[in-house]
Amino acid sequence: MIEITGLRRTYRMGAVEVKALDGLDLTIEKGEFLGIMGASGSGKTTLLHLLGLLDQPTSGRILIDGLDVSTLTDYEKTMFRLYKLGYVFQDYALVPDLTVLENVSLPAMLRKDRTEEQVTKDSFSILQKIGLCDRKDHLPRELSGGQQQRVSIARAMVNKPDILFADEPCANLDSENSRMVLDLFREINEEMKQTIIMVSHEDWHKEYFHRIVRLKDGKIVSDGLNEKKHAGQGTG
């Protein structure tokens, strides 16, 4: 569970102060598939980076499973990201010189609690899930955008993180590939009870979210459950 109180992030550009986030209060439950939506510049990426421990808030508090993450040292934050968080970026951000398998294994290889066999096993099972086992020895540039994004999701999932963050993962994809990626998220969310926090500004994506938080000028303007979705889940 994530609890946010009074979250502010201000960028100072000389004399000008940009309030990217302006006092946010939000609680995100375990297993939620949360959509963060809003216009460009509304603070979506800023919020995601703060939740993902990639940035420091100017003020306010973030508790993840009761832990105040501002108390962590730099190294502890790195380890927290490695063990508990997963990230999917808009531009896939795969290591261009590593094969698909190497990219996916990379975060697992760094974990002290994983043997080499486990790393291999986990990597293969996640590759199977995204349906790219036969491409394991290919380099990212030899894959389509949709395939690369699926590899990037596999990399984010290989350590079975508590929370998966995705910043506009479909922005570079056509609608068919976007659907493939979103279906994959839904599957992960449903099968593994995976918490997913995803930024999007495509309106049609909201059919995938349980709950939608809308930002405007760094403030939450609406926060609501996706009724249709919940109804669907309730009966399914």
Ligand X SMILES: Nc1ncnc2c1ncn2[C@@H]1O[C@H](COP(=O)(O)OP(=O)(O)OP(=O)(O)O)[C@@H](O)[C@H]1O
List of residues contacting ligand X (CB under 6 A): 11, 13, 18, 20, 38, 40-46, 201
Per CB under 8 A, 110 contacts another protein:
yes
Identify which range of 3-11, 40-48, 119-127, 141-149 contacts Mg ion by CB under 5 A.
40-48
- Beta-bridge partner residues of 63: 3, 68
**Positions in 64-103 near Mg ion (CB under 5 A):** none
Comparing CB distances to another protein, the nearer of 95 and 231 is 95
Comparing CB distances to Mg ion, the nearer of 45 and 195 is 45
**Residue from 87, 185, 208, 209 in contact with another protein (CB under 8 A):** 87
From the list ligand X, Mg ion, another protein, none, which binds 79 (C-beta under 5 to 8 Å, kind-based)?
A: another protein
Q: Which amino acid is at 2?
A: I
Tokens 């809003």 belong to 38
Comparing CB distances to Mg ion, the nearer of 80 and 89 is 89
Sign of the alpha-carbon dihedral angle for 191, 196, 202, 207: positive
Give strand ranges (E) for the chain: 2-13, 16-28, 33-38, 59-64, 67-68, 85-88, 163-167, 195-199, 211-216, 219-225
Q: Which two tokens stand for residue 183?
A: 């279906």
**Residue from 42, 45, 152, 194 in contact with Mg ion (CB under 5 A):** 45
Backbone angles phi and psi of 3, in degrees to 5: -120, 120
Comparing CB distances to another protein, the nearer of 123 and 226 is 123
The minimum distance between CB 15 and ligand X, in angstroms, equals 13
The minimum distance between CB 43 and Mg ion, in angstroms, equals 9
- CB half-sphere exposure, 195, CA atoms < 13 A: 17
Residues whose CB is less than 8 angstroms from the CB of residue 109 and which lie 6 or more positions away in sequence, other chains included: 119
Per CB under 8 A, 67 contacts another protein:
no
Q: Taking CA 139 as the corner, what is the angle to CA 78 and CA 125, rounded to the nearest 5 degrees?
A: 65
Interface mask toward another protein for 138-177; x: CB under 8 A: -x---------------xx--x------------------
The minimum distance between CB 103 and ligand X, in angstroms, equals 24
- Beta-bridge partner residues of 195: 163
The minimum distance between CB 139 and another protein, in angstroms, equals 7
Identify which range of 18-26, 94-102, 210-218, 227-235 contacts another protein by CB under 8 A.
94-102
Identify the CA nearest to 53 among candidates 87, 21, 30. Answer: 87
Spacing of C-alpha 42 from chain mean position: 18
**Residue from 4, 21, 49, 185 in contact with another protein (CB under 8 A):** 49
